[in-house]
Amino acid sequence: MDFMMGLVSVALIAIVLLYVGQQFGLPSIVSYLILGMLAGPYVFGIVTDQKSIETVGEIGIILLLFTIGLEFSFEKLLQSWRIVLIGGLIQLVTTIVAVTAVTYALSVPFTSALVFGFIISLSSTAIVMKILQERREMDTTQGRTLFGILLFQDLAIIPMILILPVFMGSSGPDLGALPLEIIKVVVILALIVILGRFVVPRLLYRVASQRNRELFFITIAGICVIVAWLTNQAGLSYTLGAFVAGLIIGESDYNIDALSHIIPFRDVFASVFFLSIGMLLDIQLLLSEATLVEMIIVIVILIIVIKILTGAFASAALGMPARVSIFTGFALCQVGEFSFVLAKTGLDASFIPERIYQIFIASAIVTMALTPFMMNAAPRFTDLYYRVIPYLPKKDLFAPPDLEYGGTTLKDHIIIAGYGITGKSVARAAEITGIPYMVIEMKPEIIRREKSARRPYFIFGDAVQDEVLEHAGVRDARTLVVAVSDQEAVPRIVHKARRMSPEIYIIARTEHIRHAQYLLDLGADEVVSEEFEAAREIFTRALKKYRLPEPEIAKIVSKLQNWGYSKFTKNGDKPAMGMDTVLLSLRIHVLTVEPGCCADGKAINDLDLKGRFGVAEFGVRRNNAMIATDDSTCLQAGDALLIFSTDQVAEEIRHLFRREENPVS
């Protein structure tokens, strides 16, 4: 097929699949996998140069890991060493052992079972990281746990490459050349460190000084490619090298600008990667035998169950709460992209037959496609787990069972769920005012750091769990502040707290305005929206650029707060003002007084803007300067009246300031 015709065909199919997927709530990854199956050589044959597609897809994964590195830091990486080493090792080893045991029990030879254990033990960094980025959960507890385990898997690729050829019967590693290889790895890694510490910061400074966007972009992309190549020469993967390159640039002052340049290319190239994975599947071969489909279903179920259990076990071994452990297991339930490389090695070595290889490809792709749904289903399984498994408090991390505060039992205290910046601020304010409080936090390191003889009231646990809230004294508390970073947990905490204590006052923090009404319906008394607070602050600063007097700004912002807080506060049976009204009201309109118009020569009070249109806040700019204004101020031709209103109200008022309009009495 002609190249342009093939490109048009792929684009049309992609548009249809993505649109349909959006209508039914399907993740874009699933649409791209289906697109690859349809456009690949085994169905419509639109794309036959599969090698080129795979190369472009690999660029997408490199860019994906590069952007993750830009948003990460060496400090965060060092803080995650325990997750990387302990969690990653436990997950990898337990998965290999479990897969080997199950396949060996199914009469597969031990060597083959062990090879499949290695192949299936890896999970997809690309899929999990992309979903976490879309959900904005990279910096949550479960996000850091998943990233640490996946990072260990990337590091484990080297020993796997060395070991697997031995089991497959092909030539193993040359032990005589091993010392030379080790020296090469050390030299290359040292070179990367030198580049990151001394060369790259100075280079970026000089490039940025040229103020040439093309030069800056090419430099950023060049650093990514060079470091990825060097890391690959050390025996590691390109993707890990791209992540390291992102870390290096992320430590500089130019990480934000670099991120803005890369993101558009990352999204396009990453979509091609998932398309290339779908092209590997020979659907015709699989559908030719009904037994193959049944076999694939069984294999998929086994892979998902084993990887959920091993992932959850690894997270639990790190001391993570059940909610994080379950989410980790569900997120790691798929087969990784590097597994295809290992499987292809087995195919080329005639160790894995073509038929078995296609069964593996099909099973792996299905697990990848199911990953977004499994991650969305994790909270429901968490609720089921909390209902079935009783809560067992850990005595060394929990507050005393009698909940005494200064010699008296805690009552009318504040419960703070989440001890981030918000939670810490509330706790400090409570300490200053002498109000008793109880903190619920899921990070053990925070508990051990903060809990002391002076502040013993910290509970290690998940506030979603009934028993944790009970242990914190939710029935006797006056206020609950929900400030956890996991946005999916906020509505569940609010709902359970309201059910357990109908009288408690619940203040919930959320990122987006659109979630406010949902939280109020679940039982929150007040919602603090980060999006709204940021909009209010930006709006206030923007008003100052209009040179409005401070009293006028204060009045306008006060009205904005009242409008917004009427939405974010429960008003009994009275329906809250729609958020569309709040958003539409975030506008300043400038109405110029034209000579001979209705408003020319009239006092503002005579126009009755408040009575007729509900406009109570305004300012007047005359000769490019703001003047003191009240209801008796007379407008003159050339004046500019600044009003704070909706677009609709501004249009209704505008005719009073136009000369062609007849005066309105």
Residue 547: pLDDT over 60: no
Centroid of chain to Cα 236: 26
Question: In this predicted structure, what is the pLDDT of residue 89?
Answer: 93
Residue 428: pLDDT over 80: yes
Handedness of CA 504, 510, 514, 515 (dihedral sign): negative
> Average pLDDT of the chain?
79
User: What amino acid is encoded at 293 in this protein?
Assistant: V
Q: Assign 333 to helix, strand or coil.
A: coil
pTM: 0.66
Residue 200's pLDDT band, with cuts at 50, 70 and 90, is confident
Give Cβ neighbours of residue 411 (< 8 Å, ≥ 6 apart). 436, 473, 476
Question: In this predicted structure, what is the pLDDT of residue 106?
Answer: 87
Cα torsion for 309, 312, 318, 320, to the nearest 10°? Answer: -150
Q: Which of the given ranges, 191-195, 261-265, 323-327, 465-469, has the highest pLDDT on average?
A: 323-327
How do the residues of the chain divide into helix, strand and coil, expressed in percent and rounded to 5? 65, 10, 30
Residue 554's pLDDT band, with cuts at 50, 70 and 90, is low
Please report, for residues 82, 155, 209, 239, the alpha-carbon distance to residue 88 in angstroms, rounded to integers and kept in the order given: 9, 10, 42, 17
Q: How far is the C-alpha of 643 from the C-alpha of 604, rounded, in Å?
A: 12
* DSSP 8-state class, residue 92: H
**pLDDT tens digits for range 439-452:** 998 877 777 777 66
Q: What is the mean pLDDT of residues 92-120?
A: 92
Q: How far is the C-alpha of 11 from the C-alpha of 268, rounded, in Å?
A: 12
Sheet holding 437-441, edge to edge: 458-460, 437-441, 414-417, 479-482, 505-510, 526-529
**High-pLDDT (> 70) share of the chain, %:** 81
Return contacts of 432-441, CB within 8 angstroms, 24+ apart: 436/405, 436/406, 436/410, 436/411, 436/412, 437/413, 438/399, 438/403, 438/410, 438/413, 438/414, 438/472, 438/473, 438/477, 439/415, 440/415, 440/416, 440/468, 440/469, 440/472
Give Cβ neighbours of residue 87 (< 8 Å, ≥ 6 apart). 145, 148, 149, 152, 314, 315, 317, 318
CB-CB contact of 206 with 44 (8 Å): no
Please report, for residues 407, 481, 507, 520, the alpha-carbon distance to residue 478 in angstroms, rounded to integers and kept in the order given: 19, 10, 11, 18
**Greater model confidence, 560 or 471:** 471
Q: What is the mean pLDDT of residues 570-591?
A: 54
* DSSP 8-state class, residue 527: E
CA-wise closest residue to 467 among 387, 382, 405:
387
Q: How far is the C-alpha of 548 from the C-alpha of 536, rounded, in Å?
A: 16
Residue 579's pLDDT band, with cuts at 50, 70 and 90, is very low
Residue 396's pLDDT band, with cuts at 50, 70 and 90, is very low
**Greater model confidence, 164 or 370:** 370
Give Cβ neighbours of residue 286 (< 8 Å, ≥ 6 apart). 292, 293, 296, 358, 359, 362
Place of tokens 């977004």: 372
Name the least confident of 51-55, 248-252, 407-411.
407-411
* DSSP 8-state class, residue 478: S
**pLDDT tens digits for range 159-170:** 787 777 777 765
Question: In this predicted structure, what is the pLDDT of residue 665?
Answer: 43
Name the least confident of 321-330, 371-380, 611-620.
611-620
Residue 216, both tokens: 């800056």
Q: What is the 3-state secondary structure (H, E, C) of 19-83?
A: HHHHHCCCCHHHHHHHHHHHHCCCCCCCCCCHHHHHHHHHHHHHHHHHHHHHHCCHHHHHHCHHH
- Phi, psi (degrees; rounded to nearest 5) at 411: -155, 145
Question: In this predicted structure, what is the pLDDT of residue 311?
Answer: 94
Element (H, E) at 393: none
Q: What is the mean pLDDT of residues 393-401?
A: 44
Residue 260: pLDDT over 90: no
